[in-house]
Amino acid sequence: MIRERTGVSYGEADAALTRANGDVVKAIIDLEEKAKQSKVKEEFWVKGNELVDKVKELIKKGNVTRIIVKNEEGVTLVEIPVTLGVLGTMIAPYVAILGGLAALVTRCKIVIEKREPVEKHKDGENEM
């Protein structure tokens, strides 16, 4: 349950459960708080006709947790939550929307959120 909700490894889930004395809800809250602290945002502009290909490329890389597409005025057009368990069929509706948007706009800003790599402690355990 923890892995599905947070996208962490078995080891990270086990460590969170240990820290929370077996309380699943506390473990999930702990992991979500740590995930918020470790997110990095990047922004860049793409031409409308490059939008779909760029988003597909970002999803394939696998280290992106959220993709936000904004118009030139900064208005959010679509937000795509990308989790470790996402299948292509779940992303398909977003890609279809992006295809329609690409035909209507000349430029879009893509904002991506990434998780920073988990740092190792000196004793070799993950920080999360």
DSSP character string of 62-104: --EEEEEEE-TT--EEEEEE--TT--HHHHHHHHHHHHHHHHH
Tens of pLDDT, residues 31-84: 888 776 667 888 999 988 888 888 888 877 777 878 889 988 989 988 887 764
Specify the pLDDT at position 20. Answer: 93
Q: What is the pTM of this model?
A: 0.57
* Closest residue by Cα to residue 78 from 47, 99, 106: 99
Angle at 63 between CA 62 and CA 69, to 5 degrees: 90
Tens of pLDDT, residues 87-124: 555 677 777 787 887 777 788 899 988 876 544 444 44
- The neighbouring-strand residues paired with 116 are none
Specify the pLDDT at position 128. Answer: 42
Is 90 exceeded by the pLDDT of residue 12? Answer: no
User: How far apart are alpha carbons 109 and 34 in whole angstroms?
Assistant: 27
Q: What is the mean pLDDT of residues 15-43?
A: 85
Specify the pLDDT at position 122. Answer: 41
Q: 16: number of CA atoms within 13 Å, CB side?
A: 25
Specify the pLDDT at position 83. Answer: 66
Angle at 111 between CA 119 and CA 54, to 5 degrees: 100
Specify the pLDDT at position 9. Answer: 82
Specify the pLDDT at position 26. Answer: 92
Where are the chain's structural domains?
2-37, 39-115
To the question of domain 39-115 being in CATH 3.30.420, the answer is no
